[in-house]
Amino acid sequence: MAIRVMDTPELLSLNKFNVDEKEPHIRLDKSKCRSCQDRPCLVVCPAGLYRLDQEGEINFDHAGCLECGTCRVMCNNKGIQSWNYPRATFGVHYRLG
Ligand code: SF4
């Protein structure tokens, strides 16, 4: 039996998300993000949820978060104001373990 190797976007697309629109589980302090020189969040998030907008500001949406906690650990400028797991029944549901 041949094993098919799946690429990252394909693997991520298998996950199911129940997004909590009322209470984002990650909140940013945009003023601290603005003053951050390194901006590690742009490269460490495996889901690529941190992006730069046209004005060069950090743009983030918690939908699609894999709850790995990497951004929380790597944020050295305290731009992540709060990081919690989503409320019960919300968040990612992994389909391949
Ligand atoms: S917890 Fe992980 S997947 Fe979620 S935003 Fe942070 S780095 Fe990205």
Q: Where are the domains of the chain?
A: 35-87
Tell me which residue of 19, 74, 22, 20 sits closest to 46, measured CA to CA: 74
Banded pLDDT at 7 (limits 50, 70, 90)? confident
Q: Is 66 in the pocket of ligand 1 (CB under 6 A)?
A: yes
**Residues 17-68: tens digit of each pLDDT:** 999 999 999 999 999 999 999 999 999 999 999 999 999 999 999 999 999 9
Pairwise CA distance, residues 13 & 95, whole Å: 10
Which tokens in the block code for residue 94? 């992994």
Domain 35-87: assigned CATH number: 3.30.70.20
- DSSP secondary structure code for residue 9 in this structure: H
Which of 26, 42, 50, 71 for a ligand 1 pocket mutation test, highest count of atoms within 8 Å of Cβ? 71
Residue 14 predicted with pLDDT over 70: yes
Q: Which residue has the higher pLDDT, 72 or 1?
A: 72
**Residues 76-95: tens digit of each pLDDT:** 989 999 999 999 999 999 98
- DSSP secondary structure code for residue 89 in this structure: T
Nearest CA to ligand 1 atom 4: 65
